């Protein structure tokens, strides 16, 4: 039985089995004994636990990297627990005080509201809305006075903050660290106090912040939250963690064809992690498929097709998954064109190839278009073009292909 089917498992599990189920695929788990006590107490009182998860409102597009954590949250829900999904709108309206992050620019209240709505539309493809509590940390942080902030800061030492890996490295390298940066983890920790979290879930890069929440709850008289981290999933490049800013992501709201095509480009060695952490297939089933590929019984492309279809089926639908697979085969294996090609209206006037690609929406800039041409990724009517200085006169019905999935058909107007 696959966990991704999300059966009502809690009815059939004792506490030890629930602990095994919930801790599966976790990297850090602090700690089993504490969570066991919480589960036993909650069961005796006929209630669920409060599982906290924080989200940055500056990047509302949910991708497969986020799905790893959302899957685990859904597993907690299936055992009767409540997910407290905190949108960090208070810190989002401040932005990144270090000036080092281009993805954490200050947001307006209107932008936060738009992003929050987008979050809810996407996360409920995985989470149960009936067992999800959406909270904004401006509810409590926005009401704090300066003396409240000072009293809160008194609970944490500079030595504790410098124990965080990135802070310690920057301090050792004599790189500036603003006071506001110290307050960010404190705000996240204070969120745990305000929602009375029983457990906080995050990526491995969040371990320090999660532990700080545990400490702050302790000094404020609450039972400390348990902490669980999950691995960060590499993106399509197979090197860096999946991120929209790095353009190595697969969004869960992308068109089926785009989603499937991206997954077919995943490095062979990485797809097994996607099976395990994104689709939640049992480890022994993933290992058995991997062995077949290694032994030559199954082609890597066939395994990747299973991955692509399974992901598209989960987030869009079975018919769309099959259609995306068949179209991919036609385009890339049989060298045929897709069923539907977007049309772009252009004048029948001579223009540079790079300008043509930008106007056709096949690249965002002349520089990006130049790289695609030089890499041999551009074709006109199935003929490869390699000269970025080439001049083109658009013709009715001309088909331009850029990369693996970019197609447009010219319409003269």
Q: At 98, which CATH number?
A: 3.40.50.620
Q: Say if residue 168 is in the same domain as residue 62.
A: yes
The parent domain of residue 53 ranges over 3-230
Of 25-29, 150-154, 331-335, 362-366, least confident by mean pLDDT is 331-335
Domain membership flag for residue 118: yes
Confidence (pLDDT) at 108:
76
Is 346's pLDDT higher than 90?
Answer: no
Domains in the chain: how many in total? 3
| pLDDT cut 90: percent of the chain above it | 47
Could you read off the pLDDT of 196-250 as tens digits, one per residue? Answer: 999 999 999 889 989 999 999 999 999 999 999 999 999 998 989 998 778 889 9
- Residues 400, 342: Cα–Cα separation, whole Å: 10
The SS3 call for residue 58 is: coil
Q: How confident is the model at residue 306 (pLDDT cuts 50, 70, 90)?
A: very high
Q: Is residue 56 situated within a structural domain?
A: yes
Q: Would residue 306 count as lying in a domain?
A: yes
Place of tokens 């008289």: 221
Domain assignment present for residue 237? The answer is no
Same domain, 62 and 192: yes
Asked if the structure places residue 244 within a domain, the reply is no
Q: In this predicted structure, what is the pLDDT of residue 94?
A: 66
Q: Which two tokens stand for residue 50?
A: 């409060």
pLDDT tens-digit map of 242-269: 987 788 899 999 999 889 999 998 999 9
Q: Look over the chain and give the mean of its residue pLDDT values, rounded to a whole number.
A: 85
CB 67 within 8 A of CB 253: no
DSSP assignment letter at 317: -
Name every residue whose Cβ is closer than 8 Å to that of residue 241 and which is 6 or more positions away in sequence: 65, 232, 233, 234, 235
User: Structure pTM?
Assistant: 0.76
Same domain for 263 and 222? no
Please check whether residue 236 lies inside any domain of the structure.
no
Residue 235 included in any domain: no
Work out the angle at residue 285's Cα, subtended by the Cα atoms of residues 281 and 286, and round it to the nearest 5 degrees. 70
Position 307 in a domain: yes
Question: Across residues 112-119, what is the average pLDDT?
Answer: 82
Model confidence at 7: pLDDT above 80? no
């Amino acid at each position: 039985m696959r966990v991704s089917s999300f059966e009502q498992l809690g009815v059939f599990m004792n506490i030890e089995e629930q602990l095994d189920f919930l801790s599966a695929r976790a990297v850090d788990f602090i700690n089993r004994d504490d969570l066991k006590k919480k589960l036993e107490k909650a069961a005796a009182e006929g209630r669920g636990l409060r599982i906290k998860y924080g989200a940055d409102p500056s990047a509302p597009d949910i991708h497969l990297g986020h799905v790893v954590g959302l899957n685990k949250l859904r597993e907690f829900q299936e055992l009767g627990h409540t997910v407290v999904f905190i949108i960090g709108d208070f810190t989002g309206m401040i932005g990144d005080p270090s000036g080092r992050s281009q993805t954490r620019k200050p947001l307006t209240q209107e932008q936060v509201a738009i992003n929050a709505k987008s979050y809810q539309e996407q996360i409920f493809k995985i989470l149960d809305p009936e067992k999800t509590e959406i909270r904004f940390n401006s509810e409590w942080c926005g009401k704090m006075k300066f003396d409240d902030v000072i009293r809160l800061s008194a609970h944490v030492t500079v030595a504790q903050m410098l124990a965080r890996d990135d802070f310690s490295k920057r301090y050792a390298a004599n790189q500036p660290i603003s006071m506001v940066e110290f307050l960010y983890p404190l705000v996240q920790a204070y969120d745990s106090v305000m929602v009375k979290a029983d457990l906080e879930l995050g990526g491995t890069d969040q371990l320090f912040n999660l532990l700080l929440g545990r400490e702050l709850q302790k000094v404020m008289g609450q039972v400390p939250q348990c902490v669980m981290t999950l691995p960060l999933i590499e993106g399509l490049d197979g090197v860096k963690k999946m991120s929209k800013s790095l353009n190595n992501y697969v969004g869960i709201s992308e068109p089926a064809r785009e989603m499937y095509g991206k997954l077919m480009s995943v490095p062979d060695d990485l797809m097994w992690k996607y099976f395990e952490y994104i689709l939640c297939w049992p480890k022994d089933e993933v290992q058995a498929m991997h062995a077949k590929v290694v032994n030559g019984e199954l082609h890597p492309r066939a395994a990747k097709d299973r991955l692509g279809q399974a992901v598209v089926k989960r987030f869009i639908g079975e018919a769309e998954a099959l259609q995306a697979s068949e179209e991919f085969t036609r385009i890339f294996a049989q060298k045929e064109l897709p069923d539907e090609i977007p049309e772009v209206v252009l004048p029948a006037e001579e223009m540079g190839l790079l300008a043509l690609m930008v106007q056709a929406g096949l690249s965002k800039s002349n520089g990006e278009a130049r790289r695609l041409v030089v890499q041999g990724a551009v074709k006109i009517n199935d003929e490869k073009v390699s000269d970025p200085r080439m001049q083109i006169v658009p013709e009715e019905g001309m088909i331009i292909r850029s990369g693996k999935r970019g197609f447009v058909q010219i319409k003269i107007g």
